[in-house]
Structures are given as structure tokens and as C-alpha cells.
Structure 1
Amino acid sequence: MQDFSYQPAGFVTLLGGGESDSQTISMCLSHAPHLVAADGGANRALELGHMPDLVIGDFDSISDNTRALIAPERLYPVLEQDSTDFAKCLRHIHSPLVLAAGFTGARIDHELAVYNVLVRQPAGRCIVVGGEDICFHAPRHISLEVGQGTRVSLFAMQPVCGTSRGLRWPIDGIEMAPMGRCGTSNEATEARVTLSFERDGMLIILPRDQLAQVIAVLRTAPA
């Protein structure tokens, strides 16, 4: 089953097979109530007492027991091996916003692949939710009420220049790049931080307690 589209009425929580806990999943579902599992993420969903609306992936990680407990009409195998399960899910989910949990903290190669896919998605479409942080592909312009003293990290997935207001270490005139400068552990010196970038490709990493207001901002931010 290769050609399908999942278009729920609201936001989607996407659960992977990496590290996650009941608090994280409940928090995501409170904002994005439609649950989709990426392959082996279905095992974790059932362990935590959640039945996914859909399971998408190449099905090399979902257990036989889990598969037997999920109705066949909820199973959407995508067998090609040219993309990750995370990429497969985002390709077939058509929602304004996806909260992706269970995609960090396990295998490093899997987590790096997630950020590779994330930055190739439209800016602001997906937020990766980890145990401590959230990460999203930045729109060209964004203004966030993070609060003074909040950690604001920037990581460019291609050479990107930008401007900032409200950061301890301004980024104006600095080109960031994967093999060059990065913006780890910058800090807000004002309640509001405003960032502008000349092109796509910048990841913003914030503490997890910023999730609700980031969702609110991304709903209205231009790409």
C-alpha cells in the first residue's frame, strides 16, 4: 500500500521507536490528538495504552504481537527502502503540524537521519519532542516569547546567515554551517527573541517547556 494520504481534522502526534515515556506522549496528544505510529513506534504506543490511528513504515520493527492487536485497516506498509520510516510518515501525513516523539535518544544514526528529514520539510511543519528539548525547522522569520535566561540553540543544516534580537550572542553577520559555526547554548537576554534567516535550513532547539507557545507561533508564522 504505497499511495495514501492521512488528513485528520487536527494536529498529529507521530510516535517512533526511540526513547519516550507516558508523560511525553500525553503532553503531545494534548496538543495533537491524532496518533500515528512509525513502524516500531506501534509497540511503544500499545505498551503505553494508546491505539494508533495508523501505523506507517516498512514494518521491520513492529512485533508480531503488536501487529495482531491492530486492525488491518490501520496498517499502512510502505516497503521502499530509499527513505526512513520518519520520512515515510511525513510524506503521507497531511496535517498543518506534526509533533514527533520517540525519535531521539536511542541510535545516533537514526536521530541524525531525523534532523536530515526535518530540515527538508516545510519550515515549522514538524516539531521533534525529546526528553529535555524540542527542535524544529525555523521559518525565515520568527518571534518567540521564551523568557529571559532561556537557552536558545541554533544549528544550521546548510550555510545560513541571519539576524537576531534578544540573544546574549547576536548572530548578525555570522554564517552558520554544519562544518562551521553553530549556535549551541545561546541565551535570551529579553523576554522576546526575534530571529530572521536569509534561507531555509536552520534548526531551533529550545527547552521542552516552550512547546505550547512554539506551537501557537508556528500556526501563524510565514514559511
Structure 2
Amino acid sequence: MKTEIRNFAIPVTLIGGGALGADDLAVALALAPRLVAADGGAAAALSAGHMPEAVIGDFDSLSRADRDRIPPERLFPISEQESTDFDKVMRTVSAPLMLAVGFLGARVDHQLAAFNTLVRHPAQRCILIGPGEVVFHAPPRLALDLELGAVVSLFPMCRLTGRSQGLEWPIDGLEMAPDGRVGTSNRALGPVRIETDGPGLLVIVPRSALGAVTRALAPGAVGAASMPGPGPARA
């Protein structure tokens, strides 16, 4: 097994083996041109005419035929079965931003596992792109330029508190929890500011806000997408 971690200086598109919309990959690659696949996501990449720069996972969802099409130096097997392939990528890829497609819109258990992975790696800036929405883990301070009336759902994956500006229903003074108060179907009054007192808050906004979310999570990184990035770094 390789002991390398992939380091990228520019945003990365991550493709999984779940439901993939007709334009999901193209939308992500336009903002994040380096392509990494999580296990079976490599098959979807190949079908779309793209060769991933790295394929990471236990390879239980990747056929031998597709695996043989990928140069061996681009395969990064991690055989343990205690984590998902998404988690394996999140802990072995370093990038200023990741746009993940093929993780939402199919099996509910896979989506819940993806949400779990987001909060287990709070330092990673990763956006899950779905059919109509995008989901990401809120950093300690978040500033989003949203349109008036845009739906903003806040879902806590643990007990937490925070403050907000620009939401129709502020979260100031509220304790949020997965088995208590949640913040779905809130609305933006314009630009939104959210602060949390700890990790664990998922933010769900319309897919049309993807550009605003990328700018909020990785200022300047998307603008540098045309610049070449480095190769693998030895861990």
C-alpha cells in the first residue's frame, strides 16, 4: 500500500460512486479542475471521459476492468473496512477546497455517512453537490452572500450554540442538537453571517449558491484554478 498523501494547491473535484447528475461533474470541474475518485467513482469518471489523478479507497466497488485502465501510480488502495471511501479521501488529500459529486441523491445511509465524514474532518473545506442543494460543514465564522429569500437550513450533528446575522430566524441564544432544536427552512434576508462555538453544524443552501459558498470557504482559491498544482508528497 502506498504511503503517499496527495497535496494540491488548487481546488479538487472528488467523484464518488453514488448518484451523479448529468452536469454535476462538469459543474465541479469548472471550479475545481483536479480530479480525484473515491473507489467506484473512478468508473463514473472514466465513463465521462476523464482519467482521475488519484483513486483512493478499498477498491471493493471498482471492477478489475476499470482498475486496469488506470495507471498503477494513480491507485492508492487503503484496505481497512472501518471507514468509508469518502473518509479515506478526506484524510489523505490536502487541498484548499474540495467539490464532491456522487455522494448525495441516492441511498440515505450513504448520505448520512457522508454528513458524518464532513463533521469528522472539520478542517477540510468540502462541499457536497446534490441535485438541488449543496451541503458543507460550517467553519467557526462564515460569511455568505446569498440572495434575498434563499433557503438556509442549519442542521447540527452535535449539541452546539452560535450566532447569526441576516437570517429571518436568528440562532442567537439557541442550543441546537440532532435530537433537539434544528434549523431547517430558515431564509436569508441578504448576506448571512454565522458563528459557531464549536464544530458540527451542517449548512444546506440551494445549488444556485454554489459560487457564493466556494468564495466563502476558499477565498481566492477558485480564481487560481488555472494554475498548475504539485504532485504527491511523501507522508
More strand by share: 2
1:90 match: 90
Structure 1 residue 205, shift from structure 2 partner: 0.6
Structure 1 length-normalised TM? 0.94
Q: Which runs of 5+ in 2 are unaligned?
A: 221-235
Contact 1:22-1:48 within 8 A present in 2 as well: no
Q: Does structure 1 residue 156 correspond to structure 2 residue 156?
A: yes
**CA distance in structure 2 between the partners assigned to 1:131 and 1:146 by the alignment:** 19
Contact 2:150-2:187 within 8 A present in 1 as well: yes
Q: Does structure 1 residue 122 correspond to structure 2 residue 99?
A: no
2:109 match: 109
1:125-147 deviation per Cα after TM superposition (whole angstroms, max 9, x unaligned): 11111111111110111121101
1:193 match: 192
1:32 match: 32
The RMSD of aligned alpha carbons is 1.4
Structure 2 length-normalised TM? 0.90
1:183-219 deviation per Cα after TM superposition (whole angstroms, max 9, x unaligned): 1111112x21111111111111111111112111112
1:15 match: 15
1:75 match: 75
The percent of aligned pairs where both chains have the same amino acid is 50
Contact 1:13-1:35 within 8 A present in 2 as well: yes
Moved over 4 A (4+): none
- Tell me: higher relative CO, structure 1 or 2? Use CA pairs within 8 A at least 6 residues apart: 2
Amino acid at match of 1:41: G
**CA distance in structure 2 between the partners assigned to 1:140 and 1:92 by the alignment:** 23
Structure 1 residue 162, shift from structure 2 partner: 1.2
Structure 1 residue 67, shift from structure 2 partner: 1.1
2:209 match: 210
3-state SS in 2 of match to 1:173: coil
Contact 2:90-2:124 within 8 A present in 1 as well: no
